[in-house]
Amino acid sequence: MNVQNPEVLDLNYSSTGFNTRLGYGKKPALLLIDLAEAYFREGTPLYHPRFRSALESCVRLQEEAHANGIPVVLTRVELSRSGVDCGIFFKKSTIPLLCFEEGNPLGDFNPLVKVAEKDIVVTKRYPSSFFATPLGPMLTSMGIDTVIMGGVSTSGCVRASAVDTCQWGFRPIVVREACGDRHQSPHEANLFDINAKYGDVVTEADAMNYMATVGKRA
């Protein structure tokens, strides 16, 4: 974050009642957000080298979830060629969103992402993984109380999904290393805000340990 003293800012938030820890619940799902080739292939409007480490972290989380019987949900974006089904969002961000036109291979998952038969793929058109998708009712019907998440970008679809996770009544757990953005400043600012107001930001190691523990209890 572009602040002179992050510790002072953190203390300021904590002293007014923010930064409360939610902790993990008893039944998690892993949500991996928009790991599309458009973010990882050089020359595309959405490419940035910073996204690579987030992708690799997401893959490790997915493997751990699979090993412990934890449901995995992956989101993808697909729009009509006119963008009419994406409304104002398409007008605001036309060039980047053209990567996700129906039939564009840039909208496919990066090859490192191996979608297992039991994984759930949700197609969305807007930043939040919940908006105009069946994700909320689906997680509710599965008895999920905790959503561990990562993906791209931190300041866009991850943040929107974290806020909606909270609004749907699930515990948002955002894995720091599994999120990526085009610049460190919006990345850190949004993680700070999510952690202060909506959910918990944790390390990859912490999330992996929790998933292993839940798996042993199951």
Query: Residue with structure tokens 């928009």?
Result: 34
Mean pLDDT of 118-128: 98
User: What is residue 37's DSSP assignment?
Assistant: G
Question: For residue 214, what are the β-bridge partners?
Answer: none
The full set of domain ranges for the chain reads 26-217
5 pLDDT more than 90: no
Distances (CA, A) of 4 to 7, 9, 11, 29, 188: 9, 9, 14, 37, 14
pTM: 0.94
Mean pLDDT of 127-151: 99
175 pLDDT more than 80: yes
Secondary structure E strands in 64-166: 72-77, 120-124, 146-152
Lowest mean pLDDT across 32-41, 81-90, 173-182: 81-90
10 pLDDT more than 90: no
Residue 151, burial from CB neighbour count under 10 angstroms (0-12, 13-18, 19+): buried
User: Tokens standing for 117?
Assistant: 């038969």
Mean pLDDT of 19-47: 97
* Residue type (1 letter), 123: T
216 pLDDT more than 90: no
205 pLDDT more than 90: yes
Q: Are 151 and 178 in contact (CB under 8 A)?
A: yes
pLDDT, residue 3, reads 53
Nearest residue to 119 (alpha-carbon basis) of 79, 61, 78: 61
Residue of 123 and 87 predicted with greater confidence: 123
Distances (CA, A) of 204 to 13, 52, 56, 64: 24, 15, 11, 11
Residues classed as catalytic: 157
Q: Which tens digits make up the pLDDT trace of 100-114?
A: 999 999 999 999 999
DSSP symbols for 50-99: THHHHHHHHHHHHHHHHHTT--EEEEEE-B-TT-GGGHHHHHHTHHHHGG
Q: Are 157 and 34 in contact (CB under 8 A)?
A: yes
158 pLDDT more than 70: yes
* pLDDT band at residue 2 under the 50/70/90 scheme: very low
- Quote helix, strand, coil % in the chain, to nearest 5: 45, 20, 35
* Class of domain 26-217 (CATH, top level): alpha beta
Q: What percent of the chain has a predicted confidence (pLDDT) above 70?
A: 96
